[in-house]
A and B are shown apart, each in its own frame.
Chain A
Amino acid sequence: MSKLIIAGREFHSRLLIGTGKFASCELMAEAIERSGTEIVTVALRRVDIENENDDILSAIDRNHYLLLPNTSGARDADEAVRLAKLARAATGINWLKLEVTPDPYYLLPDPVETLKAAEILVKDNFVVLPYINADPILAKKLEDAGTATVMPLASPIGSNQGLKTRAALEIIIEQANVPVVVDAGLGLPSHAADAMEIGADAVLVNTAIATAADPPEMAEAFKLAVEAGRMAFESGMPSISKRASASSPLTGFLRET
């Protein structure tokens, strides 16, 4: 299996993990370990970023994992940029999962404000991983702006519905020159494998792991599914047809002679 490269940095794992919704920090830490992930995202709203003893932050060993702060809860570009700068000033981390979600119910990303914030942050030397709807044009515009990845959603966050945006995801993957990380809505390991099989470079999973009855076990299930999906993709996928192709009814006679 090939390595994932984001902003020049190599990763063996193609599974990114979110840290919300866990029943305890101990369970979260165990799930992170079993997932084999190397990138862990934390919501700046949930942690005391300046406090090393913060429950969540202290459960994530920064020697093993890249801590990826996210701006979940930001309603516009201003808020996201302000939060990002404060987080970088406190931690020195310049990687950022950019989330601008003005609607508090479905938490869908705002394309206009996300692009605006990405342009500002890239110029300010952030490594920006933007969460977006599965919009191929927006993905290209973000790539042009210099983001390190694009992170299109598979379906609304936390909904566990799988690849509802498949057609648009396929276009984004086809056109992208940066890694495509499918984020949000992956409810089952098979959904993650599905995303990897269509050529996503990585996936991000949170709710499906955090709210499983046994989160560490589910984390490992996702690890295996992501690996299986990627290996299948790299091994050359068979083409899919609606019909069986048993013989050559029109040209069979050519072989008979």
Chain B
Amino acid sequence: MTNFGNNNSSIKTILAEKGLDSNGKYLRKQLDKICTNDVEKALSAPVGTYNFNKLLALISPAAEDYLEQMAQLAHQLTIQRFGPTIRLYAPLYLSNYCSNSCCYCGFNKDNKSERTRLTIDQALAEADIIASEGFRDILLVSSEDRQFISVDYLVELAGKLRGKFASISIEIYQLSCDEYARLFKAGIEGVTLYQETYDREAYRYYHPSGPKSDYDNRLRTPENIASAGMREVGLGVLLGLTDWRVEALALAEHAHYLIKRYWQSHVSFSFPRLRPAPEVGSSQFKHLLCDKNLVQMITALRLCFADAGLVLSTRERAQLRDHLVKLGITKFSAGSKTNPGGYSGRCKATEQFEIDDNRNPAQVAAMIRQQGFEPVWKDWDIAFIK
């Protein structure tokens, strides 16, 4: 029978066929063979559309000499699609009790961290502080603390946040499609769920125990999110665990797969670089990404996905964030606290990671304006969801 492409293949099969679920030795060789001609061809291809070979060329070592050109194209395309605007959001950490032991994370259950979980009232008090800073877009974050930060808890909290926030999304442990659908009905419109790494071996190494240690279950979850009707599906890899170039290719394949099948959900990418965290030194990571390669990855993905949201957190230092405003990023967090209770300062819980841009939201908004961009606090309306 003629094979008209792999439209029926699962993402698991697609990644395996392309060698993207391993350390990518074969792809490394391909990347090293990319020459300037290949990069120039990729740069002259229609901007904003994805194909594997184009991205391969744009993230190759050879493309490092074309960063200015990539940046210019990414900037122009982003301005055309989004205008000179940057959307702002703030994370609200709900719990740092965790049943996983991810090696890179300050919430690792084996760490001697100070643990806190917020009651609904405590969470609302934190949310009030976030709202008072001008935010209308909030991201609820929790470690894997299913007993306390349950779906019921999130439904109740979302119901109480609806009056204050125009957009509520979550970055928590994996749920089933039915659970995501319940949250959507409660007013939560987006879910961020990083694969962390697409390399199976590395995944096993960095996630030795707990529910999150199942690679395939993690890989399937974005489909549950989209099937449940969520408007925004956030993808990402934790940059620093393995070779970023191979990870970028896997990430793009995953996004492309979701966009083709779940055409009503909008995909966004985040670029979390590993940061020092309590009991986690950065020296143990061999693949940390330099600024130059971070810019290469951001601009390469923009040139392949014209309309994807590109998200940057306060993990990055202020000076770099200032420059990235013009390189394709569409969404910034600001004034973030990465420990539960961090906004009110009432709890002394351990942070998930250290933040590097300590400016308050007003200062970040002023910086965005200084660059000729409009800081956008609201770009959604809770009224969309019944």
Contact = CB atoms under 8 A, between A and B. Distances in A.
A102 B264 contact: yes
A45 B378 contact: yes
A207 B378 contact: no
B111 interface: no
B381 A20 contact: no
A231 B12 CA distance: 60
B264 A44 contact: no
Contact of B378 (A23, A47, A78, A210): A47
A24 B379 contact: no
A48 B384 contact: no
A141 interface: no
Contacts of A158: 80-81
Given A23-B374, A103-B263, A74 B84 contact: no
B384 A24 contact: no
B155 interface: no
A22 B251 CA distance: 31
B83 A207 contact: yes
Interface string A105-131: 100000000000000000000000000
A22 B306 CA distance: 18
Given A21-B84, A104-B265, A82 B374 contact: no
A75 interface: yes
B386 A78 contact: yes
Q: Most A CB atoms within 10 A — which of B166, B259, B372, B384?
A: B384
Interface in B338-374: 369, 372-374
A103 B267 CA distance: 11
Interface string B69-110: 000000000011111110000000000000000000000000
Given A74-B384, A86-B383, A211-B84, A105 B373 contact: no
Given A82-B383, A82-B386, A104 B264 contact: yes
A73 B85 CA distance: 17
A211 B84 CA distance: 7
Given A45-B384, A73-B380, A104 B307 contact: yes
B84 A45 contact: no
A160 B76 CA distance: 13
A75 B264 contact: yes
A47 B379 CA distance: 8
Nearest to B136: A48
Majority-rule SS of A interface residues: loop
Given A45-B378, A46-B379, A104-B231, A21 B82 contact: yes
Contact of A105 (B79, B259, B374): B259
A52 interface: no
A240 to B, nearest CB: 31
A21 B264 contact: no
B376 interface: yes
Nearest to A49: B381
A22 B379 contact: no
Q: Most B CB atoms within 10 A — which of A20, A23, A83, A207?
A: A23
B384 A83 contact: yes
A20 B378 CA distance: 12
A79 interface: yes
A83 B383 contact: yes
B43 to A, nearest CB: 20
Given A24-B369, A73-B380, A74-B384, A105 B307 contact: yes
Nearest to A71: B384
B384 A160 contact: no
Contacts of B231: 75, 104
Contact of A23 (B81, B83, B380): B83
Nearest to A206: B83
A24 to B, nearest CB: 5
Contacts of A75: 231, 264, 384
A103 B264 contact: yes
B162 interface: no
B80 A23 contact: no
A169 to B, nearest CB: 23
A103 B265 CA distance: 8
B383 A210 contact: no
A173 B373 CA distance: 38
Contacts of B79: 211
Interface string B238-269: 00000000000000000000010001111000
Nearest to B267: A104
A196 B10 CA distance: 49
Given A207-B83, A211-B83, A83 B307 contact: no
A204 to B, nearest CB: 16
Interface in A70-104: 73-75, 78-79, 82-83, 86, 102-104
Given A78-B386, A79-B384, A23 B373 contact: yes
7 contacts: A20-B83, A21-B84, A23-B374, A75-B231, A79-B384, A104-B307, A105-B263
Given A21-B82, A23-B373, A45-B379, 16 more contacts: A22-B83, A23-B84, A24-B372, A45-B378, A45-B384, A46-B379, A73-B381, A75-B264, A82-B384, A83-B383, A83-B384, A103-B264, A104-B266, A105-B259, A105-B266, A207-B80
Q: Nearest 7 A-B pairs (CB), nearest first?
A: A21-B83, A104-B266, A23-B84, A45-B381, A105-B307, A102-B264, A79-B384
